[in-house]
Structure formats: C-alpha cells, structure tokens
Structure 1
C-alpha cells in the first residue's frame, strides 16, 4: 500500500488527570472528523477508569482511524495519584515514562500496514520530556495546554517574579499587588498566584515543576490552548511573544458539539468521565423553576476538611437558594458524623446531592442560574459557553488565577477564595442568585455570544482549527 496516500497519523498523549484527558478526547474526535488516524495514549491507571465509567469504546467505534494505546506511569496500581501523591506522579512520568515512551515510538508497534508511522505528536506541554523524545526520533511535536492562557502566562513569568524579588514572600499579606507579570499589573495580587507560590520556598517541588515553562513550551512546533481570543486576547498577545505559533481552538467541548451538529450522521452524546455519573439530578432539575438552582461542584481533585464541608452546607441551606451539590466519595476528609437536623431538612426541601453529575448537561439546564466552582479550566469554560455566572472557590494550581479573572477581569461572577465561612457563603450565594442576578446574567450572556461566534464559520477558534489541520497535513 502506498503510505503517502494515507492520512496523517497523530499520537495524542494527555497528562493523566481527568481534566486534561477529557479535553484531549475532544481534540482527538475533532481530528478524527478531519479523517486523521489517531493513536490516543493513556496510562494504565486512566485506562482502567475509562473502561469502568465512560462510553469511550462505543463512542470511538465509528472512527476506524482511532486506536487507544496504553503505557505505564511507573507507579504501583494502588498509588493515589492525587493530593500529595500528584508530585510523585510527575516525577515518575519524567524518569520512568520517558524511556517507555521512546520504546513505544521506535518499536514499530504503532506502524500497521493500514496507517503511516506517527507523523505528529500532540502532548501536554507540562510533560517536556516528550519533546526530547520527539526530537530524538525525528517526529514533529505540538504541545497542548488544557489550563487557561492567563495561568500559563503566570507560569511563564515565574522566573521574572523571582528576579524582581516578588517570589518567594515570607510575610502573610496576600493582598500585596504583583507587578512583574506584564498585562496583569493593575489587578493581580499575591493571593491570585498559583497556590504553591505561598510556600515561601524556592525549592518547593511544584514551583520547580512549573519554573521551566517559559523555555520548555517554545521548543515545540506550536502550542494548542483550550481558550478563545475574545476571552483571553490581551494575555494571548503576551504569550505570542514567546510562542508565536498559537492555536486557540476552544472551548473544545463546544467546538466538538458544533462540528458534530453540522455532521448530522453523528450522535451527540459523549462521556469521558472517570467517575460514575448520576443522571437522576437531571430529573430533579426538570422540576425546578428557571434559573433558580445553584450548581455546586469542586471538580475531580479538590479535597475539603469536615469543617469546610459543614460551613458550605450551612451556607447553602441558609442562603434559601435551591442547590444541586456534587460530593465525591473521596472529597471530604474524616467525614463520619451525624448530620444536624436543620441541614437534612433544608436539603430535603431545596437541595439535591449526588456523587458525580453529567456537568455539561447540568450547566446547560434551564433551571441552573449559578455555579459554585473550584474554577478548574474545563468547568470555567463550560460555564462561560452556557452563560452561567460563577462563585469561585479555588483549590490549587491554575484555579487561583482563573478565579481572579472570572471576578475582576471578565466580571462573570464572584471570587470567594481563601474564605470558608457559612455567613460569607450565604451572603455570596444570595448576591449571585438574587441581589446582582441581572447584572451577572447580562454579562454572562454577552460572553456566551462571543464564545459561540468564535466557533462558527470564520470565527477565531474555527479558523485556528482549520490551520492546525492544514499544518499537520503539511508535516
């Protein structure tokens, strides 16, 4: 068979966490729709969870060019891979996975008669070692980042912050303005920096992990970011000074829905969840008034103490608002005591609690009028495209940055970081769902329109995806 007539063969390797895997499946499907052959590489641990909880196999059956491949992350099966174990995963990837990744690419295992050898690698830019391997074996690589551009820019500026003496800081004044991040001088504070910047220690493992970003990311042929120009334009202009070849093709989940709706033969349901979704909450939402429910979810990694959990519960019940709350089984530490009567009564009247929800469907539901979120980037974009105002309670990493932009720059909600007090929670929920409801709804509506425009023909994300497809074909 003449290999040159075959479509490009792209190997996609996401960071093995729920958020990045979720986004990259959407990217994989967008490239499948363009006729590409895709090898999607996941760690054994992620693979096990996907088979258990998602419809990934049936979903990709209709793309004969798609194959799922697995690789070890070098950790034992029972390793937690979350919380404090997260850094151990990064270390293990860098040391053990690098060798396995090179073996996979040179073994011939991926070269079937019916497809070319890999012609392009798309890997998460935090895994810089994939670029070393790509260069060694002579395959072009494009990095992808599933975090916000505003957070990526903060990472790029970490060396500047150290040079200027703004990092590390030892006193506790988190409201001190940060001045060494171009484009953010007028509104950015210490408390809006990624959480690891508070350690007061330059040798903090997380800081060391993200310090090389400004030299690592520009090494790739280009950089794909899950965002859109109307949302993060000024910051994207800053990033282009280091990575001129940017592909902003987000919001990815909506981009895919849009392309599938144009291709009428395609079903629209997809789940990449690593948890079992409880769809009974949709039935509950069906019986609630329009825009009356605040949806509460802190994502797939955040963990709270028993005390914080109780403060949130009291705050939600006392706000008088209807609420749908996602509480993962592993999200509250030592949670095993009796629930006060007023909470169980208040929840029975106005609340609904599930272990995991089909989030895109929930945010698109007419009954939902607000989102209390950890400000993960997928959640933020899903909220933006559905026009749902947010209350932000960030947990770690990029979430501190995102929540500042939601509240201060995009004016799409309220930033409640660094507080966990039932009175503040009650007051903030009332403000979003009642007091300033119209103001936030109008602003969220404007941004929703801009997000939809960028995906339709001629829009920025639409054109950038076309350019990405063309560039991969030309490789």
Structure 2
C-alpha cells in the first residue's frame, strides 16, 4: 500500500497569514487523505496549541501534525504594530536553516511544500532538496499583482509616496488593469518608504522568488477578481483561487470543532448573547485586527464617532491595541456611560460568527484581507480604515472596484466616523447595499459543488496526488536498476 502524499505548509508568523494556511491544511487533510505537517514559529506554535481543542482537532484531522522552528526574536518581542517588520529579517536569517533541518529530519519526504509568499526562503530550501514548491499569497489577487510592480513604481517615481502631499490623489497608470482605479494614497504602506529601504527591497525580493514556484494559491474567488487573476496567470502557469477558505471549510465540514481554531488570541463569546438581544442589522461591528495599533487620540476619535452616531456597536479591543494607553482613568466618563447603554466591548470576538449574525449591519474594519473576505461572504457592508501592508489596496477595492463599502483612509475624526457609520447603518448608499448582496451571493456560489473555489480545491488535491504518483514512479524506476 502506497504512503499518502505528504504536504508541508509554512505560513508567515502572523494571525492573518496563519489562519488561511491552517484552513487550507485542514481542507487538504480532509479532502485528499494527505499527511500534513504545519510549521509555525515556536512563539505561535505554543499560542495556537494552547487555544485549540487538541483532542477534537486530532480526531477530525489525525494526519495533521504541528511542528515549529524559531523565529529569531526574544519571547518578549511584541511582534505587533511597527515592530512586526522585525520578523521579515529574523525569519530570513534564523528560520531558513532551521526549516531546512526540519525538512531533512522528517520521517517522510514531502511531496511538496506550500510556502507563504513572504517566507520564500522556503523556495531556496525546496530547490536545494529537489522538492516541488507552491506559493500561497495571503493577500488579494489585486494586491499580489501590485507587489509584482514595485520596481516599476520606483522607476516611474511613484515611490516614495509622501504622506500629506497634494498629489496623493494622482492616479497610478503604470500597473496594467488598475490605471483608472488606484491612486498614490491607495498603494501598499511600504510604498511610503525610500526606494532603497530594506523593507521595500525585502518585498521586491519576495515577489521575485515567488515566481520560481510551480503554482500560486490565493484566498479569493474567481468572480470577485477575474481581471487580476488573469494577469497573474501570465506569471504563474497555475493559479488556484480557493476562497473564501473559511466558508469553504465550514461548507465541507459542518460544525467542525476546528471552526475559529486558527486564532492566536482567546475569544470572548459572550458577545454573541448580547447580539442575540439586538434588532436585525442594527449593530456595527468594530475590529482593527490582530497587528495594528491605535494612538490614544485615534482611539478616542473612533469612540466618540461611534457614540455620536447613536448606533449600537460591538467593539473588539485587544489588550495591546492602544499604543500609549494609560488605563480607564483617561477615558471620559461620558463615553463610558454611553457605551454601557449602546455598546458591547470585548477583548477579541469570534469574528466569523459575529459577521454571520443577523444583528450585524456594518463592519468598521482595518481592511485586512481575511476580514474583508469574511465580510463580503457575510454580506456586511464595510467602513475601511487601513493602516499597513495590503490594507490600503483592499480598502480601495472595497469602495471603488467592488463597491461593498466606504473608505475612511487617511482620516480619523469623530464627525467623519459618525457620518460614515450613519451612511452604512441607515442604508444611505444604495449602490453599496446592492453590490454587497450581489458579491455575497457570488461568494456563496463559489464554494458549493460546481463553484469555482470548490473546483480549484479539488484540482489542487488532484495535482498534488499527481506529483506524488510521479515521485513514486521515479523511485520505483531507480530501485529497479
């Protein structure tokens, strides 16, 4: 009896990257009877295993094993906010040899490696060891396409983008397919850096190395980003659009104990009972993700805007969300009292369940890709306040390309927050409401039998099985000599 294919997955060590890759691991484990090795950094490995129901997880996915490598940072390092970029360089230098050693030590040689697009040192390791590699970019197809044009943006003088410059609304014309959409202010946050910045050069190098992979996996669906997916097919012979991954998993494995199991932060599910007591589509959900931080002033402006809108809100406030927070004594009493009447504040929410709840009518978001895709699938219009990485691009796509929300980019004052909350919660932007319903339907269609994403996952499984079969055939031929 032949051994099952063995797939190694390596995400970048951040919540937004780990989640879709772990969901993919579960789908491969379920759909293809594969042996899976999921490699986290030691820091996140322990956080993840502490929060998941390991016995239930193991029963459902008995051939999925978790392993870890160091990330090169001290345990005290925050790994959030601006300091998250330290992981770019520590993983490249420290994690690369550790990953190679781990691959060599595995009892079963990997059939292939699926590596995060910004952990592309795995491509070097795979090439050295003769293992096929597939890259997984956890951004949208649109943002992935933009990252392949960073050098061109430098050559055209679009980088660095100078914050506050009067030309911030000048359109970018050098990226095919986005000539009439993208402005300077919509470029990824790294484009504000000088051309020779190590961080910007890191991303340019990562994009270049990605092209050596045999295929590209994206957590998106064909109907949402067809033009950009077509462009990416000029670089990669195969592009597997397989999202929304979270909904695909839930449709295939109903009531799975693995639901929400990829969170690195403990969830407070008490907010669901609070939502149960609210009117349909009456609540604004607010979350700024797992990495970005707010100043105390920004925090207060958002809070005043929410309270002044008069709309009930559920706000997930991480303990490390406010960079200069000095405790509740610095919060005006009027905000505290108003929030007791109309708000629910938790440290972290079960976001998929929240967005699917009938009481949610809008989402004030940082525009991370997972959050954006989950909101589209749930049919919840967004108010976007992006800060880092791909978030600027996502917010522009939400407001101008897909028209499923409003863009609050580069401003943070209570009156604007109040206005946009009212616009979304009172259905004042008819085009947004209509597009939200349409794209939610397309997302749902994509994950069902016969849908684009459902088909692409099946194709990925079959392609990995084919790689495995070819390897077995080659080994048998070698053994016969």
TM-score range, shorter chain: over 0.9
2:11 counterpart of 1:14 = yes
Query: Which string of whole-angstrom CA distances, capped at 9 and with x for unpartnered residues, describes residues 13-61 of structure 1?
Result: 1111001111111101000112111011111000121123333553233
1:235 equivalent among 210, 228, 240: 228
2:319 is matched with 329
1:196 equivalent among 190, 193, 198: 190
1:380 is matched with 372
* Partner SS, residue 86 of structure 2: helix
Superposition pairs of residues 70-219 of structure 1, within 5 angstroms: 70-107=68-105, 110-111=106-107, 116-170=108-162, 172-173=165-166, 174-199=168-193, 201-219=194-212
2:247 counterpart of 1:247 = no
Q: Do 1:157 and 1:214's aligned partners in 2 also have CA atoms closer than 8 Å?
A: no
2:477 is matched with none
Q: Do 2:57 and 2:258's aligned partners in 1 also have CA atoms closer than 8 Å?
A: no
Q: Do 1:295 and 1:323's aligned partners in 2 also have CA atoms closer than 8 Å?
A: yes
1:279 is matched with 269
1:399 equivalent among 373, 391, 397: 391
2:465 counterpart of 1:473 = yes
Query: Which string of whole-angstrom CA distances, capped at 9 and with x for unpartnered residues, describes residues 364-397 of structure 1?
Result: 0000000000000000011011000000000201
1:415 equivalent among 400, 407, 419: 407
2:53 equivalent among 37, 52, 55: 55
1:446 equivalent among 438, 441, 462: 438
Q: Do 2:123 and 2:210's aligned partners in 1 also have CA atoms closer than 8 Å?
A: no
Q: CA deviation at 1:64?
A: 2.0
User: Using the alignment, how far apart are the partners of 1:245 and 1:269 within structure 2?
Assistant: 29
User: Using the alignment, how far apart are the partners of 1:317 and 1:440 within structure 2?
Assistant: 23
Aligned CA distance change for structure 1 residues 340 and 132 (closer, same or farther; 3 Å): same
Q: CA deviation at 1:210?
A: 1.2
Report the TM-score, using the length of structure 2 for normalisation: 0.93
1:32 is matched with 29
User: Using the alignment, how far apart are the partners of 1:269 and 1:212 within structure 2?
Assistant: 35
Q: Do 2:161 and 2:185's aligned partners in 1 also have CA atoms closer than 8 Å?
A: no
1:352 is matched with 344
Q: Which moved more, 1:403-412 or 1:164-173?
A: 164-173
Q: CA deviation at 1:214?
A: 4.2
2:20 is matched with 23
User: Which sections of structure 2, spanning at least 5 residues, go unmatched?
Assistant: 468-481
2:360 counterpart of 1:362 = no
2:478 is matched with none
Query: Which string of whole-angstrom CA distances, capped at 9 and with x for unpartnered residues, describes residues 179-229 of structure 1?
Result: 111111102101000112123x11223211111344222200101000001
User: Using the alignment, how far apart are the partners of 2:175 and 2:388 within structure 1?
Assistant: 19
User: Using the alignment, how far apart are the partners of 1:299 and 1:238 within structure 2?
Assistant: 29
